[in-house]
Copies of this chain bind each other. A is one copy, B any other.
């Protein structure tokens, strides 16, 4: 399938900031995080911008600027991150509207939507069970 790495990168960035702050540093720069992720700082800034809008991180500007966590890693779940960085449903319906004159074409979209909604709810439950603190612990255990 198609898979994007936004959730992965966001979790990486949050874990990195969290660890960096525990080591006594005040702010983390997108440059530093990008170096660990192995990508361009702008990619990180865009992603952290989504997380800021969701209230997970804060940013400072000016000299000595950078990023800080807005909450403890314990209080953030992968669901919070997922909702901040992912848009739209997991499974898409038809790109073009099916033939409404056909029984199947007419009923298939509401039927699949119902099924998908249920599945996504389960997915959310799973994501909500994992905190970013769990992620960091798992990272450090290796």
- List A residues at the B interface (Cβ < 8 Å): 1-9, 11-12, 15-16, 19, 35-39, 78, 86-99, 102-108, 110-112, 114-115, 118-119, 122-123, 126-127, 130, 135-136, 138-142
Q: A11-B108, A38-B97 are in contact. Are A139 and B103 (CB under 8 A)?
A: yes
Q: Are A105 and B36 in contact (CB under 8 A)?
A: yes
Q: Are B7 and A91 in contact (CB under 8 A)?
A: yes
Q: Identify the closest chain B residue to A34 (Cβ).
A: B99
Task: Collect the chain B residues with CB atoms within 8 Å of residue A111's CB.
Answer: 135, 138-139, 142
Distance, CA A97 to CA B19, complexed state (A): 20
Q: Are A92 and B123 in contact (CB under 8 A)?
A: no
Nearest-CB distance from A79 to chain B (Å)? 11
Q: Are B94 and A115 in contact (CB under 8 A)?
A: no
Q: Are B1 and A142 in contact (CB under 8 A)?
A: no
Q: Are A96 and B2 in contact (CB under 8 A)?
A: no
Q: Identify the closest chain B residue to A142 (Cβ).
A: B107
